[in-house]
Structures are given as structure tokens and as C-alpha cells.
């Protein structure tokens, strides 16, 4: 089909009509890709301005020269690239097209640039006359691809790190859960043993005393009057002994209940319970206590948070008792700017920081899990010979502290 330029662009002058007489030359001049033709000897037959500019020449300087020797003579690493291995020449000499994006062309100044090129044979009557080669500088594309690959590699590395961290955290959670189950079972065993040994033996003794009194009362009617006074005294002593057994049972029940949940926590609040726990601990461990409470004792925390703070405090004291070998204990509690801090510091033997990050530091993990559940954190500062400071920090919302 013939295109009528006048119909497309309106009336044209003779000069404008002459400009359209060589559309192939216009196409070669206007494209941004490099295009050149070679004969069977690899000599340049033509090259467009964009192609000559890409390799640093003028078109007239390139025509008639061997294009492989001019711009394709070396590989990306600088090693020689023999002409008989060149895909461009092999492709058109065999009458087959090719497309390559992994090589470089060389400029006049000796620098190389990555290219994507294709070679298409020129055929006439089934005979190969040469080839047309198109090429484009893919430096920016390669740079973008490299940046994308680096970003991908970085993302994959980050994903691997996060996955490993999650797997490690999951393993620690599993270990912590297993440890918690073990501790829970040990606590149940201890309580069962105390109930059996302490309360069980007391109740058996009480039962024996009650049976004795029942038997004596049954015999009382058959005794002579002179023996009644002596029996009443013996029964009075037995009642006193039963009273002591009952008092001991009550004390043991109270101690077991306190171990499970101190009643002072419900009756007098968290701050009194913390001070009571500290006093009980230093009394049993024979330590000096520096107790400082820098907050309004009317501040009330939600029950779950109050229980978490109390249990974390118990674990802090337990760590001091098991590991510190301390002489004095400082407990400082403060509330300022919506932040509650509870710090326990001892003057004991201390430990290297990594000891608190060990996989089997279940007590520390438990404290951090409790604190993290309420958005808090546990900070530990310690060094061999310098004691240990454990600090709980948790933000208290105005609604929670109201």
C-alpha cells in the first residue's frame, strides 16, 4: 500500500517531498540504537550516527573497517576475543540470526560498555551477503539489574536472619514452656508433699486424740469418783495438745496459701506486698535492705499487671538468693512520666552479660516474657565482682493508673 504524504501532512513543497525520498536513511538517522551493516569479511558497509557515536567515532571513520577488530576484539575481562568465536560473524555466515546481552563493545578511548546486540543475515537469492547488526548500550539496565539483585540479596539475607531469629525465639519459647511446666510440676509436687507430710500427719494425730477422748469418755461412767479428777486433768492436757496441733495446721495452710498467692496482695495492695516480700527475703537470706518507694501508694495497677510485677520481683529476689552471694540489697521503685521502674541491685559476685542471654537462663526469659506481655522490658547490668542490677520498666497508661 502506498502512503500519500500530502494526504497525511497537507500540501507539501517540492523541497519537503525530496526529504522523504530516502526513508531508510531517515530511519537510521533518527533511531537511538546503533545499527551497522557488514559484508562477509566483517567490513563495515554502513553505520548510523547513533552507532558511531556509541563507539566514539564518526560514521565516515568506521565504514570499510573490520567491526570485530574495531569494537568487539576483547571480552569483558579484557582477554582477546578471536574473530572465529564471534557470535555475530558465525551467525550471519551460517545464515542464522543471534541475540546476545552478555558481552561488551569497546569505544575509541579504550573503555568498554555492556551491550545487547542482535545480528540478522542479509540474503539474496538464498545467498548470504552480510549482516545487519543492531546494538544498544545497556549500562543503565545492567546497573538497575545489579541494584535490584543487591536489593534482592539483601532482602533474602534479611529474611534468613529474621527466620533464624524467629526459629531461635520459637525454640526458646518452647524451652521456656517446657521449663515452666517442669517448675509447675515441681511446685505441685512440693505442695502435695507438704500437705501430705505436714497437714496429713497433724490430722492423723488429731484423729488419734479424738479417738482417745471418745474412749476415755466412754470409760468415765465406769470409773470410781476418786479417779475422775485425774482423768479430767489428762483430758485437759490432751485438749491443749489438740489445740496446738490445730494452730500448727492453720499456720501450715496459711504458708501454703501464701506461697500460691500472698493474701497481702489482695488486702493491702501491690506496694505493701512487694515490701513484705523483700523483708521476708532479706530476713531469710540475712541481708541488709535499702528500700525506697518513690511513688504515691494510692497508685493502683490492673490486677494482671500487678501480679506480673509481683512475680517478676520474686524472680529477681530468687536470682539474688541463688547466685549473688551478696551482703546488701537495694530495692528502688519509682513512677514518673507514666513509667514505672522497679530496680533490684545487689553487691554480690556478678556475672558476665552473656550469662543472662544464655539459652538456659529460663528465669530471665520468664521475666522478659512477662514484662513483654505488658509492653515492658527487663534491663540487666552486671559484671564479675561488680554485683547485678535488674530493672523492670513498664509504661502505665493514665486509664490503668486511675
- CATH code, domain carrying 320: 3.30.565.10
If asked whether residues 378 and 393 sit together in one domain, one would say: yes
If asked whether residues 255 and 284 sit together in one domain, one would say: no
Name, in order, each residue with C-beta under 8 angstroms of 144's C-beta and a sequence gap of 6 or more: none
In angstroms, the first-to-last Cα distance of the chain is 88
Name, in order, each residue with C-beta under 8 angstroms of 397's C-beta and a sequence gap of 6 or more: 338
| Whole-angstrom distance, CA of residue 74 vs CA of residue 68 | 9
Q: Which three cell numbers stand for residue 298?
A: 494510692
Q: Which three cell numbers stand for residue 310?
A: 509481683
Q: What is the pLDDT of residue 189?
A: 66
Q: What is the pLDDT of residue 20?
A: 54
If asked whether residues 254 and 278 sit together in one domain, one would say: no
Tens of pLDDT, residues 283-331: 988 999 999 999 888 888 988 888 889 989 988 998 898 888 899 999 9
Q: What is the pLDDT of residue 401?
A: 55
Q: Which three cell numbers stand for residue 86?
A: 564471534
Of 326, 320, 336, residue with least CA distance to 380 = 320
Given the C-alpha cell 535492705, which residue does it identify?
289
Which residue among 222, 244, 259 closes a domain?
259
Tens of pLDDT, residues 132-164: 999 999 999 999 989 999 999 999 999 999 988
If asked whether residues 191 and 272 sit together in one domain, one would say: no
Residue 111 lies in a domain: yes
> φ, ψ for residue 275 (rounded to 5)?
-65, -40
If asked whether residues 230 and 267 sit together in one domain, one would say: no
CB 320 within 8 A of CB 282: no
Residue 148 lies in a domain: no
Q: Which three cell numbers stand for residue 125?
A: 537469492
If asked whether residues 269 and 397 sit together in one domain, one would say: yes
Q: Which domain holds residue 245?
A: 154-259
Residue 323 lies in a domain: yes
Given the C-alpha cell 497437714, which residue does it identify?
199
With helix as H, strand as E and coil as C, how does the chain read?
CCCCHHHHHCCCCHHHHHHCCCHHHHHHHHCCCEEEEEECCCEEEEECHHHHHHCCCCHHHHCCCEHHHHHCCECCCCCECCHHHCHHHHHHHCCCCEEEEEEEEECCCCCEEEEEEEEEEEEECCEEEEEEEEEEECHHHHHHHHHHHHHHHHHHHHHHHHHHHHHHHHHHHHHHHHHHHHHHHHHHHHHHHHHHHHHHHHHHHHHHHHHHHHHHHHHHCCCCHHHHHHHHHHHHHHHHHHHHHHHHHHHHHHHHHHHHCCHHHHHCCHHHHHHHHHHHHHHHHCCEEEEEEECCCCCCCCHHHHHHHHHHHHHHHHHHHHHHCCCEEEEEEEEECCEEEEEEEECCCCCCHHHHHCCCCHHHHHHHHHHHHCCCEEEEEECCCCCEEEEEEEECCHHHHC
If asked whether residues 244 and 267 sit together in one domain, one would say: no
If asked whether residues 290 and 234 sit together in one domain, one would say: no
Residue 146 lies in a domain: no
Given the DSSP bridges, would you call strands 288-294 and 328-336 parallel, antiparallel or unpaired? parallel
| Whole-angstrom distance, CA of residue 131 vs CA of residue 334 | 86
| Whole-angstrom distance, CA of residue 344 vs CA of residue 56 | 75
If asked whether residues 267 and 255 sit together in one domain, one would say: no
If asked whether residues 164 and 234 sit together in one domain, one would say: yes
- Tens-level pLDDT at each residue, the chain (402 residues): 333 333 333 344 454 445 555 677 777 777 889 999 999 888 999 999 999 999 999 999 999 999 999 999 999 998 999 988 888 887 777 778 889 999 999 999 999 999 999 999 888 887 888 899 999 999 999 999 899 999 999 999 999 999 888 888 777 777 767 666 676 666 666 666 666 666 666 777 777 777 777 777 666 656 666 666 676 677 777 777 777 777 777 777 666 666 666 677 777 889 998 999 899 899 988 999 999 999 888 888 988 888 889 989 988 998 898 888 899 999 999 998 889 999 999 999 998 888 888 877 878 888 888 888 889 999 999 989 889 999 999 998 765 555
Residue 296 lies in a domain: yes
Residue 210 lies in a domain: yes
Q: Domain tally for the chain?
A: 3
Residue 322 lies in a domain: yes
Which residue among 109, 137, 165 closes a domain?
137
Residue 21 lies in a domain: yes
Q: What is the pLDDT of residue 13?
A: 45
Amino acid at each position: 500500500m502506498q502512503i500519500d504524504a500530502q494526504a497525511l501532512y497537507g500540501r507539501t513543497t517540492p523541497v519537503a517531498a525530496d526529504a522523504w525520498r530516502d526513508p531508510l536513511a531517515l530511519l537510521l538517522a533518527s533511531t537511538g540504537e546503533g545499527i551497522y551493516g557488514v559484508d562477509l569479511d566483517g567490513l563495515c558497509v554502513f553505520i548510523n550516527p547513533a552507532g558511531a557515536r556509541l563507539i566514539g567515532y564518526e560514521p565516515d571513520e568506521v565504514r570499510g573497517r573490520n567491526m570485530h577488530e574495531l569494537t568487539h576484539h576483547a571480552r569483558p575481562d579484557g582477554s582477546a576475543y578471536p574473530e572465529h568465536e564471534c557470535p555475530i560473524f558465525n551467525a550471519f555466515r551460517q545464515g542464522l540470526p543471534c541475540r546476545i546481552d552478555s558481552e561488551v563493545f569497546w569505544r575509541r578511548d579504550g573503555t568498554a560498555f555492556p551491550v545487547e546486540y542482535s545480528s540478522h543475515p542479509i540474503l539474496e537469492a538464498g545467498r548470504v551477503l552480510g549482516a545487519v547488526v543492531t546494538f544498544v548500550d545497556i549500562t543503565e539496565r545492567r546497573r538497575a539489574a545489579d541494584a535490584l539483585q543487591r536489593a534482592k540479596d539483601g532482602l533474602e539475607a534479611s529474611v534468613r536472619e529474621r527466620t533464624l531469629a524467629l526459629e531461635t525465639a520459637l525454640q526458646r519459647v518452647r524451652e521456656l514452656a517446657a521449663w515452666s511446666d517442669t517448675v509447675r510440676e515441681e511446685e505441685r509436687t512440693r505442695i502435695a508433699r507438704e500437705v501430705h507430710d505436714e497437714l496429713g500427719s497433724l490430722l492423723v494425730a488429731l484423729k488419734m486424740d479424738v479417738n482417745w477422748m471418745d474412749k476415755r469418755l466412754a470409760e468415765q461412767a465406769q470409773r470410781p469418783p476418786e479417779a475422775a479428777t485425774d482423768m479430767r486433768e489428762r483430758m485437759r492436757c490432751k485438749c491443749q495438745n489438740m489445740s496446738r496441733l490445730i494452730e500448727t495446721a492453720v499456720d501450715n495452710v496459711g504458708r501454703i496459701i501464701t506461697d500460691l498467692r500472698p493474701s497481702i496482695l489482695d488486702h493491702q495492695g501491690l506496694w505493701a506486698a512487694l515490701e513484705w516480700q523483700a523483708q521476708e527475703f532479706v530476713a531469710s537470706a540475712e541481708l541488709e535492705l535499702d528500700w525506697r518507694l518513690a511513688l504515691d501508694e494510692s497508685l493502683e495497677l490492673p490486677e494482671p499487671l500487678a501480679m506480673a510485677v509481683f512475680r517478676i520481683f520474686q524472680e529477681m529476689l530468687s536470682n539474688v538468693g541463688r547466685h549473688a552471694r551478696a551482703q546488701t540489697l537495694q530495692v528502688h521503685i519509682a513512677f514518673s512520666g507514666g513509667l514505672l521502674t522497679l530496680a533490684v541491685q545487689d553487691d554480690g559476685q556478678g556475672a558476665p552479660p552473656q550469662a543472662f542471654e544464655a539459652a538456659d537462663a529460663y528465669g530471665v526469659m520468664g521475666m522478659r516474657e512477662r514484662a513483654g506481655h505488658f509492653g515492658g522490658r527487663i534491663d540487666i547490668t552486671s559484671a564479675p565482682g561488680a554485683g547485678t542490677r535488674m530493672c523492670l520498666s513498664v509504661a502505665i497508661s493514665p486509664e490503668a493508673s486511675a
